[in-house]
Amino acid sequence: MKLFEGKKGLVFGIANDRSIAWAITQELHENGAEMGFTHLPDKDPERPKSENRLRKLVDPIGAKFVMPCDIQNPEMVDAVFDQAKESFGKVDFILHSMAFAAIDQLKCPVYDVSREGFSLAMDISAYSLIELARRGREILNPGGSLLTMTYLGGETVIPGYNLMGICKAALESTMTYLASELGPEGFRVNALSAGPLKTLASSAVGDFSKMMKLYEAFSPMRRGVSPGEVGKAGMFLLSDLASGITGETLHVDGGYHIMGAPPADADEE
């Protein structure tokens, strides 16, 4: 029997085929999960680029529904959960993979971030998890799970990650408080912290090729990680195999996060 046979869930935040959320979705699908998906609202309904991009990925795997969702619009979020109730009744998992900061706010030093830019980034990148948890507890089955995406820049300074690092720190703290509050109801909340992958988000952060070289040189495994490895870890956290795990940030980065200094052979060719 497949791990997710008969299980249903919601996936928020697949941007394209390089998204970590897509890597996790593929593993969930392979293990029997049924899912509904959301995309950013398209500005031009006649040319629904976001919807078409998502449908190209999820229609072939039997998406139960595909809907627009602006996480800052409560009516749109309510509509997604209403559709989930209609399509599934109850769900077993919710995957949260949403983050945003205006590019000028990401590129500037933290001391130059505007109040408006800070508020927008925090709202979409951290508060959105609270939005999903509030509504999710009404439709999650016992043992249900929420999973969010984070990065090491939320724990320690990663030059170039800037404002998003602050948002991820808030997200990780939010995750732990939600895990504490929802635990008595039988729900789990965790975070997945992946090493650098070539995603839409990573393209906005610093020199990606330099970061990859650092991971290959500094991590105990002397390499980066693959989308498949990250996808499997995300699937694990959402599955019953992780039934005793909550409030956890699981690092899938070849061990890079444990290193306090470069290994002795880091500069060897």
Q: 38: Cβ–Cβ under 8 A, 6 or more apart, which residues?
A: 10, 11, 12, 13, 66, 67, 68, 69, 80
161 has catalytic annotation: yes
Give residue 200's pLDDT: 53
First to last CA, the chain: 47
The pLDDT value given to residue 206: 56
Question: Tokens 């732990």 sit at which residue?
Answer: 176
Nearest residue to 11 via CA among 47, 73, 62: 62
Q: What is the CATH number of domain 8-258?
A: 3.40.50.720
Distance CA 250, CA 259 (A): 16
Question: Cα 154 to chain center, whole Å?
Answer: 14
Distance CA 231, CA 171 (A): 20
pLDDT at 269: 47
Question: Does 151 qualify as catalytic in the annotation?
Answer: yes
Which residues of the chain have a pLDDT value below 70?
198-208, 267-269
Q: What is d(CA 184, CA 191) in angstroms, rounded to the nearest whole number?
A: 19
The pLDDT tens digits for 151-194 are: 999 999 998 899 999 999 999 999 999 999 999 999 999 999 99
What are the extents of the domains in the chain? 8-258
**pLDDT tens figures, 104-128:** 999 999 999 999 999 999 999 999 9
Q: What are the beta bridge partners of residue 36?
A: 10, 65
Residue 267: the pLDDT is 65
127, 161, 177, 256: the catalytic one is 161
Q: Which tokens hold the place of 172?
A: 């990780």
Q: Report the pLDDT value the prediction gives residue 268, as an integer from 0 to 100.
A: 55
pTM score, whole prediction: 0.94
Which one from 111, 127, 151, 177 is the annotated catalytic residue? 151
